[in-house]
Amino acid sequence: KLTYYTPDYEVKDTDILAAFRVTPQPGVPPEEAGAAVAAESSTGTWTTVWTDGLTSLDRYKGRCYHIEAVIGEDNQYIAYVAYPLDLFEEGSVTNMFTSIVGNVFGFKALRALRLEDLRIPTSYSKTFQGRPHGIQVDRDKL
CATH number of residue 107's parent domain: 3.30.70.150
Q: According to the model, what pLDDT value does residue 51 have?
A: 55
Tell me the per-residue pLDDT of 68-113, one tens digit each, with 9 for 90 and over: 999 999 999 999 999 988 877 788 888 888 888 876 666 677 888 8
**Which residues constitute the domain of residue 131?**
16-141
Task: Report if residue 2 sits inside a domain.
Answer: no
* Beta-bridge mates of residue 67: 79
Task: Report if residue 100 sits inside a domain.
Answer: yes
Distance (Å, whole) CA 86 – CA 20:
21
Distance (Å, whole) CA 62 – CA 79:
12
Say how many domains are in the chain.
1
Give CA separation, 131 vs 92, 97, 108, in Å: 12, 18, 37
Distance (Å, whole) CA 3 – CA 39:
8
Mean pLDDT of 34-63: 68
Helices and strands (H and E) in the chain: how many: 5, 4
Read off the pTM.
Answer: 0.80
Task: Report if residue 5 sits inside a domain.
Answer: no
Measured in degrees and rounded to the nearest 5, phi and psi for residue 31 equal -65, -40
Q: According to the model, what pLDDT value does residue 129 have?
A: 78
Q: What is the mean pLDDT of the chain?
A: 82
Tell me the per-residue pLDDT of 93-104, one tens digit each, with 9 for 90 and over: 888 888 888 766
Q: Which residue type sits at 119?
A: R
Distance (Å, whole) CA 54 – CA 49:
10
pLDDT for residue 132 is more than 70: yes
% of the chain beyond a pLDDT of 70? 82
